[in-house]
Amino acid sequence: MTPAAAPATDPLAPRLRWFGWGPPTPPGAPEMDLPPEADPLLHELGAADVHQHPVALEDVRLAPSTLDTAPFAAVVGEDAVRTDRLTRVAHAAGRSYLDLVRLRAGDASGAPDAVVHPGSPEQVAELLALCDRLDVAVVPFGGGTSVVGGVNPQRGGHRAAVTLDLGRLDRLVSVDRVSLTATAQAGMTGPALESALAEHGLTLGHHPQSFEFSTVGGWAATRSAGQASTGYGAIAELVAGLRCATPAGEIVCRPLPATAAGPDLRQLVIGSEGALGVITEVTLRVRPAPAVRRYEAWTFPSFAAGAEALRTLAQAAAAPDVARLSDEEEVRMNRLVAAHAAAAPEGQVAAIFGWEGDAEDVERRAARSARVARAHGGRTDPGDGGEQWRAGRYAAPYLRDVLLNRGVLAETLETAGEWSRLGELRTAVTGALQATLGARGTPPLVLCHISHLYADGASLYFTVLAAQQLGAEAEQWHAAKAAATEAMLAHGGTVSHHHAVGRDHAPWLADEIGAAGLDALRAAKGRLDPHGIMNPGVLGL
């Protein structure tokens, strides 16, 4: 029924290589390596001597699929139901550090029994009804870029699991130039969406680091925030309407600028991570494509001074559209590997500011931002650091694959908190990571930046680098992750600013939203998904 290996021209072929980031590479293609400038980093981490590589696809451990695919083929067509090794392995996990560790070691034991590619919202609804009848768990799959276990199939007691890959739902359904809204099918990737909008002179401006692969539906399902969310808004603000297929019927939130008709159902579906249903269409608030994009590098005398500048900018409604501030350790790391723009002179920290719009608008807003930033000791960096940052804004996950080859644990975590507790929050999370990994004999580098501003607070994004405990990678990272997450909760933070909950954060959701809140979500799920087939384990529901 399925081809033994999907040819490159197969429109249903996996879009990410099965063991890491980026598009599939031909077998045997040379792997990028770390630049020699990174040697001091490897030495500092104590990970200089490792050279390891993923197992071959044929050696990946994969349970046989026992699912009868005929009923699925009857809905979507034979070619749109895949059970071949590559497809199943490529849908076995998301792209967290431990996902990659497991995949590279040849563990795809959680792979779905089949991957089904619906071609329309109606087919999605039919498939949910079918799975409900056949007692099959359903994992909605957009770009597969989850870093919190959001697409890792769990059977949840059901007899099989299928992944619904929404890649065929790749159409811009309609554009309303007057209202500045556009309706997109859920499977459109960032580049597909932006290029379709560009034909109308429009943009969404939503650029998460996963932009190249992640999808409209995935953004909404995970409550995503793009790198320019300070200016363009996070996805929760950009969604005017949506359609979500559930086993109990479709939820349709008509596009509306605002409504007081009860609780906001949009905000129940946004962030529901496939646990209630499958988002099939999203009406997005778009904007005229900017004529000018201006990105600058800035320096500040300290992280505290820079943070105070960002707070003032956000509270004065004078913030750039992109505003990122690296802490001392992130700046030191950038300086060390010299691969990143956000470096800064010794004793200074670095920031990236970006403004997008028409020329006059950018000029005016940049001047306002600059006035505030200078009052807090900010200085523009004369180089082209801003443009360098923009050019490399999606690069980090590629680098992680290479670090894994060299035995380096490389993972990120993020939180958000009120300005009054942000310093405390950063110290606590950094300290928890250092203490936990230090106690295991793998003292880490913990880098941090602020990258999303609000009047009342900001996000904190942490990058952790340490020598892998080979053979005990999971225990090592689980200990660090638990300590960091508990530090977030104890110091006014949330367990996630934009990575979502997935399965990895689910144990902490009750601490985050309380027992009554979790109960309310469970009840809603119980009604919309009475047999619990939707993405079992996600959100802990």
Q: Catalytic annotation on 398?
A: no
Nearer to a second copy by Cβ, of 447 and 524: the residue is 524
Please give the structure tokens belonging to residue 323. Answer: 């505003």
146 marked ligand binding residue: yes
Binding status of residue 236 toward a second copy by CB under 8 A: yes
Name residues contacting a second copy, limited to 483-512 (CB under 8 A).
Answer: 492, 494-501, 505, 509, 512
CA 341 centroid distance within chain: 22
144 marked ligand binding residue: yes
Nearer to a second copy by Cβ, of 195 and 259: the residue is 259
Q: How far is the CB of 190 from a second copy (least distance, A)?
A: 17
Name residues contacting a second copy, limited to 294-353 (CB under 8 A).
Answer: 311, 315
Q: Give the integer Cα–Cα distance in Å for 488 and 482.
A: 10
Name residues contacting a second copy, limited to 516-535 (CB under 8 A).
Answer: 516-517, 519-524, 526-528
**Contact map string, positions 405 to 424, toward a second copy, x by CB under 8 A:** -----------xxxxxx---
Q: Give the integer Cα–Cα distance in Å for 488 and 368.
A: 33
Binding status of residue 84 toward a second copy by CB under 8 A: no
Nearer to a second copy by Cβ, of 139 and 509: the residue is 509
181, 227, 369, 463: residue in contact with a second copy (rule CB under 8 A): 181
- DSSP track, 302-361: -HHHHHHHHHHHHHTT---SEEEEE-HHHHHHHHHH--SS----TT-EEEEEEEEESHHH
Nearer to a second copy by Cβ, of 173 and 339: the residue is 173
Please give the structure tokens belonging to residue 140. Answer: 């909605």
Nearer to a second copy by Cβ, of 404 and 539: the residue is 539
Strand order in the sheet with 322-326: 379-381, 292-300, 349-357, 322-326, 445-450, 457-467, 408-418
Long-range contacts of 118-123 (CB under 8 A, 24+ apart): 118/75, 118/76, 118/80, 118/164, 118/166, 118/168, 118/169, 119/76, 119/77, 119/80, 119/168, 119/169, 120/169, 121/169, 121/185, 121/243, 121/245, 121/250, 121/280, 121/281, 123/75, 123/76
Q: Give the integer Cα–Cα distance in Å for 80 and 77.
A: 6
Phi and psi dihedrals of 445, rounded to 5? Answer: -95, 130
Binding segment (CB under 8 A) for a second copy, from list 157-165, 186-194, 218-226, 340-348: 218-226
Q: How far is the CB of 333 from a second copy (least distance, A)?
A: 25
303 marked ligand binding residue: no
Binding segment (CB under 8 A) for a second copy, from list 119-127, 194-202, 424-432, 450-458: 450-458
Nearer to a second copy by Cβ, of 127 and 528: the residue is 528
463 marked ligand binding residue: no
Q: State which H helix or E strand residue 514 sits in.
A: helix 509-528
Binding status of residue 459 toward a second copy by CB under 8 A: yes
Q: Which one, of 190, 221, 218, lies nearest residue 394 by Cα?
A: 190
Q: Give the integer Cα–Cα distance in Å for 181 and 200.
A: 11
Binding status of residue 249 toward a second copy by CB under 8 A: yes
276, 325, 362, 484: residue in contact with a second copy (rule CB under 8 A): 276
106, 110, 153, 271: residue in contact with a second copy (rule CB under 8 A): 271
Give the number of residues in contact with a second copy, rule: CB under 8 A: 84
Q: How far is the CB of 314 from a second copy (least distance, A)?
A: 9
Report the catalytic residues: 461
Binding site as annotated, residues for FAD: 140-146, 273-279
Binding site as annotated, residues: 140-146, 273-279, 400
